Each structure stands twice: as C-alpha cells, then as structure tokens.
Structure 1
Amino acid sequence: MGHGGARPLLLRSGSAPMVGRDAELAVLLDAVEHAPSVVFVEGPAGVGKTRLVAEFAAAVRARGVRVLVGACQPLPEPFPYGVLFDCLSQCGDHLDDPGPVTGALRDHLPELAGLLPPAPRALGDPDAERHRIFRAVHELLRSLGATVLVLEDLHWADEETRWVLRFVLASPPPGLSIVTTYRREDLPTVAPFGYPSHVPHGVTGVNLVLGPLGVADVRAMIDALVAEEVTSDRFAEAVLRETAGIPFMVEETVRALRDPTVDVRAEGDRAQLVLDRIDVPVPVSDAIAERLGNLPDAARSVAEAAAVLGVPETADVLSAVADQPEVAHLIRLTKSTVLVEEPANRFGFRDNLARRAVCASLPGPRRRELHERALAALSTLDRVPAGRLSVHAKAAGRKREWLRYSELAAEAAEDVKDVALAVDLLSEVLADPEISVEDTNRLAIKLCGYALMGLPGGVVTTRVESLLSDPRLAPDVRGEVHLWFGLLLQRETGTVDRGADQLARAIDLLADQPQRTVRGLAAMAGPYLGTASIAEHRTALGRVETITDHLPTQALRTVLLATTLGGRLIIGDSSTWERVAQLPSPSEVHDPDEIHHLARAHCNLADACSWIGHYPRARKFLRSGITLAERAAASYVLGTAEATAVRLDWLDGQWSGLEQRIDRLVETYANLLLTTDLNLTRGWLAAARGEWARAERAFEATGSYPLTQVFPVGVSAAGGMAGMLLSQGKVTAAEEHVERGVGMLRSKGAWVWSGDLLPQAVDFYLAMDRVDAARRLVAETIVGLGGVDAPLAHAALTGCRARLAAVTDDRGEADRLYREAIGLHHDLGLPYRATQLAEQAEDGATANVTVLEVLAESYESLGATVDAARCRHRIRGAGVATPSRRGRRGYGDELSPREHDVARLLAGGHTNREIAQALFLSRRTVEDYVAKVCRKLNAPSRHDVRL
C-alpha cells in the first residue's frame, strides 16, 4: 500500500530527540566527574544507545572536556585496534609531551607522525611488539590529559582492541573516562572486554542497561517528532504495542505515518487501525533482514514460523510449523534476541513491527505453506480461538474452513460483547464473491443483527450499507438489510431523513411479511423525529400496536414494545402505564437479543419520563435499563441511558463534574444522535455559568438550526438560547429563537414538550410589551395540554400564568400561582427552576432582601453563577451590603470564589465587558480581578489563563 498524499516527517537519520533517558545521562556525566572511570552501556539494537552517548558527548564538550568518538564496524575481519586508532587519530592538537614509547604508533597513526617521537627499532617478537603497542596507547592517552573515549558497538571490536582496553584500565591515566556501547547478545565473549571482565580498584565502574520506553515516554517522543503535544493516549499505547517501546522502531513508525499530525491524535480503535495501514518502514525491514541473514537456514525457518503464527507459541507448535524439530534453533533465536521468551514457555517476536517485516519478506508460496502448517498444528489443540484459525485458513486459501471459523469467531466476539469485531469478521467473508448465495444471505442477516447491538456510525454502518450492492441477496433479505440500515441511520446525526427512506423501502420490500416490517413501522411512528404532527404519530402507533398484539412470541412483542411504549409516553399518553405491564420482568428474560430489547424499552421509558416530568420514574427505569443493557452489552442503549442520566442530573441540581461527563460522552458517541441531547445539557450548564459563547455553540450543536432532528431537543434548545439572550438584555436577538420554538410546538402540536420553552417565550413577549401574544400562547398551551400527562409542562404553565397575573397587577392571584408553581417544581425535584420562580415572585419594588439572600445562596450551591450574581446585584440595588462569599479574609495565592468565576470566563475567551455583564460587576472591578487571576495562575496574559 502506497502512502498516497502522505506528509512524511523530514528528519535526518538519528535526528530524533532523546526521550526518557535523563537519569542515564546524569549517571554518565557523574562518571566523568569521578575519573578515571569506565561506563558500559548495554542494550539491544535500536534502544537508543547511540542517541544517549551523542547527548552525553555534547554535554561533556560543553563543559570543556575533550571527547574522542569512534564506532566499530560489522566487518568479517575487524582491523586490529581499528576503532582505537580512529579515535586517537583525532587528537593531534591536544598531545602534551608524549613519551618515547608512543613512537611505536607512528606507522599506525600517520595523522600524528610529525607529533610523535621516532619509531623504535622492531623487536622481532610479536608478543613483545604487541606489549609495546599496549604501552604506547596507554602513554598516548596519558598525554591527552582529561579525556573521554567513547567507543560504540564494542561487540564488533577486534580482540586486540578489547585486550588493550583491559590493559589501559588496569592502571588508567587519572583523567581518562571510557564509555562503551554494545549488544550483549552479539558479544564474542560474556563480557565487553573479554573474559573475565572486572573494573580494577580505584576506577569508577558503571553498568547501564537500556530498556524499552514506557507509554509516557513513547508519547513524549511522538510529540517531539511531530513538534506538537497532540498524541492521544490510545495512539501512544498502540505504538508501544507495535514497537515494544524501542526508540528506533517508534521513530520509523512515526516517519511512516501518512499524515503524522493528524494520525497521532487517533482515538479508540482507530489508533491501531492507523498503524495497521502503514507499510513496514524500509529501515526496519533492512535491519530485520540483516539480523535474519546471519542465522542458519533452520533457525531462520523457525523465525518465519513465529512471524506467521502472529502470537507467541510453544516450542512444539513452532517446530511443527517450521518443520524443524530441533530445539537448538530456538535457543539460537532467543540468544540472538530475534525471538523472546514469554510466560508459559512461549516464544515470539519482541515487537509486532519486526514480525510484520518478516512476514512481508516471505514469498507468497512460502507464506501460504506456513499458514497451512499453522492451521494444521493449531486446529489439533484445545482452546485455540476461532479467530486465529480463521486468519490462517484465509491465508492458506481454505475458503470453507475460513467461513466456518469466521462465523464461530463472530459468535465468540458477540459472547464477549465485541460487536465491532463480529461485524468485521463477517464483512470480510461477505466481501468474497466466491461465497455461496445461501451463505451470503445467512451471514448478511447475522451481520445486521450484530450491527444493531453496538454503536452505529463509521465502519459498522458502512459495512451494512455495502451489503445492499451485493447481487446475491434474496429480495426478503435485501428488505431486512434496508430495515437495519435505516434503523442505524436514524441513530446518527444528519441521517434521520435518509434512515426514514430506507425504512420505507424495507416496508415496501417486505409488505407481505408484517412481522418483519413492524419494527420499521414502529421506528417511523416515533413522535420525536420528523415533522408529522403528534396526532399523526398517535395514529401510526396505534396501527403498529394492532400488529404487535398478534405477534406469536413474547420476544417479538418486546422488540416492538421497546419502541411504542416510549413513543406513547413521550407524547403524554397516560394509557402507557397500563401498557408497560405487557413487558416481561427482567428476571424472566434470558435470551441476549430479548434482553437487549427489554433494556431498550426501559431506557426509552426513562427518556420519555425525563422529557415530560416523571423524574423519579425516570430514575427507576434508568437503573433497570442500564442493568439490562450491561447484561446485553447494548452499547448504543447504554449511550442513550447516559445521556438521559446527564439531563436528569442537570434538572435536579447535581452539576458537580457534569461538564467533564458531557465532554467524555460527546467524544465517545461522536456523530450519534444522542449527542444532541448531551449538547442541550451542555448549553444549559454553560448559560447558567455565564459562558455564553460556549452555550451558543452547544445549543447550535443540537441541530436545532434551522430544524432539529429530535423535536424535544430542538424546542428546548430554542428556549435555552432565548433565555440566555434575555438574561443579557438582548431582547430583540431572542425573538428568532422564541418564534422558531413556538412554531415547532404549533406545527407538531407538541405542547407536551413546552416546559423548557414556554417560560422564556412568555418572558420575551412581556419584555416586548406584547402581553396579548403571551396570553394567546398560554391559552394555546392550556388547550394543548388538556388530558395530557406532562407534569413539567403543567408546572411551567402555572409559572407563566403567575407571571401574567403579576404584570396585570393581580398581585393576589400572582402570589397564589407563584406559590403553586414553586411547589410543583419542588415536588418534581427541579431546584434551579424553582429558585428562579421564587426570585421572579419577589417583585422589584417590594422584594424581600432576606429572601433574595437565601435565593443567592441556593444559586451558588448549584453553581448558577449568573443567577447568583444577578440576585446579589438586586440586593446591592436595594442598598443592602452583601456579605463576603469568601468565608475568611484573604486567599493568598489561591483563587477566591469570585476570582475562580472570572478565571473560568477568561479561559472561555470572554471579554472584560462580557465578564462584567455575566457577574454584574463594573468594568474596573473586572480589570482588577483579571490582574489578580493572571498573577495567581502565573499567566503572562489573559489569553494564557487555563483552569
């Protein structure tokens, strides 16, 4: 696979930053401070030895200490003293009175010939000549003074070099430090300087063993490579799995990314998918090929078997697949670190990238042969996952076995609630044109069933859609695929209308089979989607329920009741409570599919209760629904439950940590319709805190502009926007939102959902002196709510009637209605709205300051910053000094509550004017607060404030 429009990182070889080695660098520098010293830096290829000593050499040179660097080469016959002479040839400008014996090096170091004494007469005895060379090297190093000798890859050094280093260290020059790097697995002996190896008395000796990086360091390295701190935790974890934390592997992996600054942000399963799609980097392939090239053919065959097997395996399995019965080959591979031993006596590659490189290097026939042997060997063992057998069967070209094992693997994935894997497994099989018509139709039905249990969107929805182009599908199966595809689309933002079209096509294709179409009919009858009136939806629900009553099994009835019960309740139909008894008890249901639909029924009822105002019942249904959804691993159902729980927590004043929960859930369920609900709650919360820009973005994200896909959310978002603008005094700007929301209520006849819009609409009309418009709206609502089970809407209506009575100077009626409205809201468990009504009941001219103070404290306990500030502003306006919120004098370097409010608004990008307006403060006071916040948070400017 090519890299297409890739934007590769343009880094020179070895230019990647050093990460995670600060402690080791400190040890190296400390050793130089305690010369004479010798440091052995050990570690496998690519672990970062060269990068570490390069940083070390630069740091030492910066201190004014001489550093000589040389590297051994992987030559068949290394040159005697080669690396040493390479280093010493660099020191011509630093010699200080080299002794006579150094003349023995003139012929070996022509660069220094003019600086060394005359060459001594040849001795004729090789051992004596060797001894003289040793002494000459020692003396030359002494004449250099304080020097650091860095020798890399000592495992490739010649024997003479290792012996002369031992000789020098026996009585080292006082200012000499030697730093060596090596791979233990490639040493010709058991120690760097030969056997036995020890550090003489008086010499500082340090052994450093470099290991792989951990996930935090992997993430830091990736961030440094892309020059941005954007790497997600999931991507760093995926890179760690792929590379085993070897820096060379990490660097080459990041270089190979198609779009690094985008790819490293990948979350969830996409993080691994990004890595799976890149080719094995050429430097990695070359390094692995070189390593395998040094092995005997038999050992290489075992390594190839391990690569094809994919996961660590026992010696018996490796031998069977490689057709190499001797264990000696495995020992050779582990000693050379091509393979590593895992728990339970299993052997495999240290990192997946190396394994992939070996697989990619295999010729097709050889790879197929190994997969055939792997299938044969693994199929005789107990408890081998069907998914592994499926992979080998496919690679070996065994179609029937591939299909059988894939289907078993999909069932196993469903058992452990991994719906996405089940869908992927069957999709891969169905993509093969050679699969029979019978198998295609059977597996298509299975795949759709799996898809509807998990989270829709992205790959899952695409998999189902791709089935529609398969010519092998029978008409009735194609109808069912349209049905399931439509149901998936109705769960995603921006695709509701398309989903309805798919459901309509399914109903046409399956017109003679009502038992199979009834779920589509139920979905289309859902009153919260589309523009049809509530009356039309009620009629449609009735038609579906007629079919439901004649379904042959309880399981089929549960499927339909899951949709119709919530649909009836959300339009305020009180007969729903009798119909709920038709649902089976959770203890009676054992089939996973029926559990899934019973969970859906309970969660849909909880959602409906939360919209119309039956909050205790909503909590009860939510608890049972979540328990059932967890039993069935119904991901989407759990998502809807979490969104409902967030809205309920907002309504009953449990705001602590709510913003973080919403952020997490919106990210988890991105692009799904349930995020509109979450954004509505996010908007409510931000508006109450004075974070108006954030609130506006959230309300707009509900999809309510120009027309919502979820009607209750759209109506409530219009009310939220209008209320926020009215609180800022932007009455004219609120008009479009009020008229849009009221128009939605009228066109659909959805007065049951008016509770979150009616108060704001009445406030708007009264602010515009349009009392008659307010009266008409209230009168319409009274009629629309006749016989409707909607506690929230009725409570809101009572509050609006109190407001109208107050503006028409019917104070006694207003007081009575306000008390009734406040009581209704308290009974419903809506402390925020009840407090707002209590404040509204305190008429400006006759407001009770003591009551306002209690209300301000109630607002503050909730976290309603704007309302609390408005309340205290009213108290100050009455000429009463407000007590300090601080509770103690002085906060030192900590933020006071008011400073925290200012800091939060600053972090949201608000101007001083907007902060002053939100907190009812003067611009001058806000300026003082901003200066204090910046000082306490060490922020250079207001734009750097972060909480």
Structure 2
Amino acid sequence: MFCDIVGSTELRHRLGDARADTWFAGFLDRIEEAVADVDGVVVKGLGDGVMAVFTSAGGALDAAVAMQQRTHTYGHLADVEPANLRVGVSIGDIATAGDDWNGMPVVMAARLCTAAGPGEILAADMVRVLAGNRCTHPMSPVGEYKLKGIEDPVDVVRVEWAPAHQATTNELPASLDAARRGPFVGRAVLIGELYDTWKSKEWRALFVAGEPGIGKTRLVAELANRVHVTGCGVILGRCDPDLAVSYRPWTEALEPLLNEMPAELLAELAPHHLGELCRLVPSLVSRVDLQVQDLVVDADTRHAMIVDAVVALLRIVGPVTLVLDDMHWIDQRSLQLARRVLVADLPDVTIIGTYRDTDLDPFHLLTAALADFRRLDGIRRVALDGLDGSAVVEYLAQSAGHALDFDGLTLARAVHARTSGNPLFVGELLRHLADSGAITFVDERWTGGAEPLELPEGLREVIARRLTSLGAHTNQILQVAAVVGPSFDVGVV
C-alpha cells in the first residue's frame, strides 16, 4: 500500500514550516496507527505519506479505510487544516531488500496511489477477490487502468468509505480548555508517559489523586487536549457537593454528546435505551420520537436500565474519553455507573478521574471503589506531589517570559519554601505579592520578595474551610503543632 497527502507542498507553504511540521506529524501519526491496528508494518515514510505492507488483503483494505476516516477527522478538528489523502493497494509476491520491499505489486500500488483522486482509495481487483467476504467495505469497479511501467492493463476497484461518526463537538470542554491556561511545569515527563501509554492502550482508566490545588485538573486538561487532538472525543462531568443529585456528572458529560449526535447514529439505539437516556438527559426528548411505554419499576431496576442504556450508547459513539472531575464528591449511582462501564470493557472508551486523597477515609464510597478497580485490567493510578524547586523556577520564568536572574531565583526559592510547591498556592502567592507591592516587575525582571512571604487572605480562607471539616480535637492538635514547626511527632504533640 502507498498513500500520500494531496497538495502537501502548497499546504506547507500556506502553513509555514514550523506549523506544518506539527500538522504533518499529527496527520502521519493517524496513518501509522491505522496500519498498526491491523498488524500491518510501515516500511518507510515518504515525507507526505507512507509505504506499508500487510499479511492479508482484508487487513490492507481495513487500514486504507481507517486512514481516510482518521485523517478526515483530524483535518476537521478545531485549528487544524483539512487535507485529502489518496491510497493505492495491490497484492502479490514481493522481495525484501534491506529495509525496503521490491516487486511489481509495489510498483502497481505506487501507480494506483498516483492515479487516485483526493480522498480516494484505488485497489487492484485481485485485492477484492482475495479479501472476499472478510472485507465489509463496499467497492465499485472503475475499469481498466493503464499504469506506467506495467505492460498489461489492470482491473481496478474503488473502495468506498464515509467519515467516521463524531462522538462530540470539535472543541475541548470549555472548563478543561480554561484549565490549560497559565504555566504547565514539572509534569512534562509524566504527561508524555501517560499519553504514550494511552496511545498504546496500556490503560483505559486513569485516576489522579492529590491534595487541593496540587494540579490534578491541570494535568488532566493537558492530557485531555492531547487525546482530543488525535480525534478522540472528550466529554466532562463534574462532581459537586452542593448538587449531589444521582447521575449529575453523567448528565453533564452526555448532554452535549447526545444533543449533537447525528440522527442516523441515534437511530441505532434501541427504543428502550433511548427512553432511559431521555430520563438521564431530558433535552434529548426533542430529538427523538419515542414509541415505548414508560415502565414503573423500583429504583435498583431503573438504575440497571440506565446503566444498560449508557453502555449501549458508548458502544456506538466511537472513541471518547470521559473526564470525571472531583470524584471525592461523586454520588453512589454515578460511581456504580462508572464501574459498570469499566466492567463492560468498551475498547473505544477511556475514563479519567480526579479526586482529593486527603478527603478520603476508609469509609468513603470512593475508597472501596478504588480498591475494587484494582481487580480490573487497564486501571492506572497516579498521585501528584508538589512541584520541586526547579519547577517553581520554571513557573516564575514562564510567568515573566524570560530566564530568572539572581533576584528572581531568590524569590523562587522563597515561594517554594512557603508553598511546598503547591501550584495553586504558588500562583495565588505571586498574585498577592504583586498586588500588594511586595514584589514588582521592573525592566522585565522580578524584584523584591526577600522578606518572609505571607499567604494571601483568599488562601487562608481555603485552608480554614478545610480545617473546619477536621473536628475540634484535630484542630487543637494542629494549633499546638503549628508552634513546633512543619514536622512533628503526633504522639509528642
């Protein structure tokens, strides 16, 4: 198989080299993933395409359609330039020559690729014959082609394809996009490793733990953006202690998905599943014509029906990542639904959750659930700590837009010592110091901050609110401990 991007030179000229390099890397990633998914091998890159080989005719045709669908999706993401791919497929005996492959089938595939139009897949008719009923993609005969370097005319078929259904809108959920603003430091290695292992399907659920302000949502927002750029839909459900309504985060996550799903995709759902989804997302009622009687059942049976409906939905929406934020506030039904989705082992569904491990005790419902999740395959847990000193230096440098001088490094050390690297505290403390005049930005340099740094009132209120939940006895111990210092023996205190 050969494929290449139509008009790649003009596209590079239009985008400029820097932006084009990023664009081409994302486009070619999708081609290589399509090849790998059917156990094909990319023999070599061609700058604006690839040459690949496969062990079966059906696998090659599946890969060709997947390439077109994935690159089409990529080209229609927000802020990504659309482009067209053309593909040529042939079959026959070939020989290896080092890392390359030679033979007339190679020449034929290359010539078919050249002959294909934008967005077209051309294959030798023999590929269709050998694929047989293992290939479900429709194919149309397009006649005999006289190909350069091949003496006899070649019977050719066009492999038909349609764009994959999109699970969500082209945009990242607004609150996740907003969370990505500002410096992202100290987590580059972790975010790279999480993204790479997600791409290789080493995990299908990720739970990120840490104290308030440690950067859980910021990390997940960065990861979600990388996932989203691959063409995977991202939906968000937030848990709220003041809105502890059953299924609340699922309603928030599924509403935009259901409201923007193509009508033909909604039609694939059974009527009774649509009925339960309308119960979960009432705005869906205006899009469907329900001809099913509403059954009166007990609460547990209703829950089971809702679970079945959500699982049925997630089976057909294509690749989608669900972010459940602040799961320490999750309601029991929502947590049970999350578990059932994981048990269903849906290949195109990923769940990413965040929670405050400081809010959990042995009796918290999430504690038991996390222990239960350990028995499932593909579950990953990450606990975040504060930023180290070098990361706080990088935070200040990014905020200032330049490398720090001696005064800046002194300020960074003081900020790190006062905040223990908690990103929320770092940001709020810097804003407080700047607003109060304790530090100033003169000649594009931070100055000041040598005196002991006091926490701003807003952060004091956040800490005070958390202390009130600990009880009078614990607060009394902490008051004594505060005199001792940051490290103390509980028994002594």
Q: TM-score range by the shorter chain?
A: 0.5 to 0.7
State the shift of 1:307 in Å.
Answer: 2.7
Confirm or deny that 1:64 pairs with 2:244: no
Output the CA distance in 1 between the equivalents of 2:293 and 2:189.
Answer: 47
Could you say which residue in structure 2 is the equivalent of 1:242?
418
Could you say which residue in structure 1 is the equivalent of 2:208?
41
Confirm or deny that 1:217 pairs with 2:388: no
Q: Structure 1 residues 120, 212: closer, same or farther in 2, change over 3 A?
A: farther
Confirm or deny that 1:53 pairs with 2:53: no
Which of 303, 327, 348 does residue 478 from structure 2 map onto?
303
Once the two structures are superposed, what CA deviation does each residue of 1:141-197 show, in whole Å capped at 9, x if it has no partner?
223211010111111100111111111111132211111111123231463735522
Largest Rg, 1 or 2: 1
Output the CA distance in 1 between the equivalents of 2:225 and 2:244.
Answer: 28
State the shift of 1:131 in Å.
Answer: 0.7
Confirm or deny that 1:148 pairs with 2:321: yes
Output the CA distance in 1 between the equivalents of 2:228 and 2:440.
Answer: 34
Output the CA distance in 1 between the equivalents of 2:302 and 2:416.
Answer: 52
Confirm or deny that 1:18 pairs with 2:156: no
Structural mapping, 1:815-834, within 5 Å? none
State the shift of 1:81 in Å.
Answer: 0.9
State the shift of 1:114 in Å.
Answer: 3.2
Q: Structure 1 residues 31, 134: closer, same or farther in 2, change over 3 A?
A: farther
Residue 196 of structure 2 aligns to a residue whose secondary structure is: helix
State the shift of 1:316 in Å.
Answer: 5.2
Confirm or deny that 1:252 pairs with 2:428: yes
Contact kept in structure 1, 2:328 and 2:366, CA below 8 Å: no
Structure whose residues are more often helix by fraction? 1
Q: Structure 1 residues 316, 127: closer, same or farther in 2, change over 3 A?
A: closer
Structural mapping, 1:295-444, within 5 Å? 295-315=470-490, 318=493
Residue 280 of structure 2 aligns to a residue whose secondary structure is: coil
Which of 82, 97, 106 does residue 248 from structure 2 map onto?
82
Residue 39 of structure 1 aligns to a residue whose secondary structure is: strand
Contact kept in structure 2, 1:31 and 1:37, CA below 8 Å: no
Output the CA distance in 1 between the equivalents of 2:293 and 2:187.
Answer: 47
Output the CA distance in 1 between the equivalents of 2:423 and 2:206.
Answer: 21
Output the CA distance in 1 between the equivalents of 2:179 and 2:484.
Answer: 32
State the shift of 1:265 in Å.
Answer: 5.0
Once the two structures are superposed, what CA deviation does each residue of 1:780-839 show, in whole Å capped at 9, x if it has no partner?
xxxxxxxxxxxxxxxxxxxxxxxxxxxxxxxxxxxxxxxxxxxxxxxxxxxxxxxxxxxx
Confirm or deny that 1:127 pairs with 2:300: yes
Could you say which residue in structure 2 is the equivalent of 1:283?
458
Relative contact order: is structure 1 or structure 2 higher (C-alpha 8 Å, sep ≥ 6)?
Answer: 2
Structure whose residues are more often strand by fraction? 2
State the shift of 1:90 in Å.
Answer: 1.3
Output the CA distance in 2 between the equivalents of 1:193 and 1:117.
Answer: 37
State the shift of 1:14 in Å.
Answer: 7.3
Structural mapping, 1:92-241, within 5 Å? 92-94=259-261, 96=265, 97-100=268-271, 101-116=273-288, 118=290, 120-187=293-360, 188-189=364-365, 191=367, 193=369, 195-198=371-374, 200-201=376-377, 204-230=378-404, 232-241=408-417
Contact kept in structure 1, 2:244 and 2:330, CA below 8 Å: yes
TM-score (norm: length of structure 1): 0.30
**Percent of aligned positions with the same letter in both sequences?**
28
Once the two structures are superposed, what CA deviation does each residue of 1:747-772 show, in whole Å capped at 9, x if it has no partner?
xxxxxxxxxxxxxxxxxxxxxxxxxx
Once the two structures are superposed, what CA deviation does each residue of 1:214-264 show, in whole Å capped at 9, x if it has no partner?
111110001112223225433322221111111111111111222343597
Q: Structure 1 residues 103, 185: closer, same or farther in 2, change over 3 A?
A: same
Which of 447, 453, 468 does residue 293 from structure 1 map onto?
468
Which residues of structure 2 form unaligned runs of 5+?
1-177
Output the CA distance in 2 between the equivalents of 1:79 and 1:164.
Answer: 14
Which residues of structure 1 form unaligned runs of 5+?
1-11, 319-947
Q: Structure 1 residues 149, 311: closer, same or farther in 2, change over 3 A?
A: closer
Q: Structure 1 residues 124, 316: closer, same or farther in 2, change over 3 A?
A: closer
Output the CA distance in 2 between the equivalents of 1:317 and 1:272.
Answer: 34
Output the CA distance in 2 between the equivalents of 1:279 and 1:56.
Answer: 33
Paired letter, 1:106: C
Residue 87 of structure 1 aligns to a residue whose secondary structure is: helix
Output the CA distance in 2 between the equivalents of 1:18 and 1:199.
Answer: 33
TM-score (norm: length of structure 2): 0.55
Residue 322 of structure 2 aligns to a residue whose secondary structure is: strand
Once the two structures are superposed, what CA deviation does each residue of 1:434-471 show, in whole Å capped at 9, x if it has no partner?
xxxxxxxxxxxxxxxxxxxxxxxxxxxxxxxxxxxxxx
Paired letter, 1:63: T
Contact kept in structure 1, 2:179 and 2:218, CA below 8 Å: no
Contact kept in structure 2, 1:99 and 1:140, CA below 8 Å: no
Output the CA distance in 2 between the equivalents of 1:192 and 1:18.
Answer: 32
Residue 86 of structure 1 aligns to a residue whose secondary structure is: helix
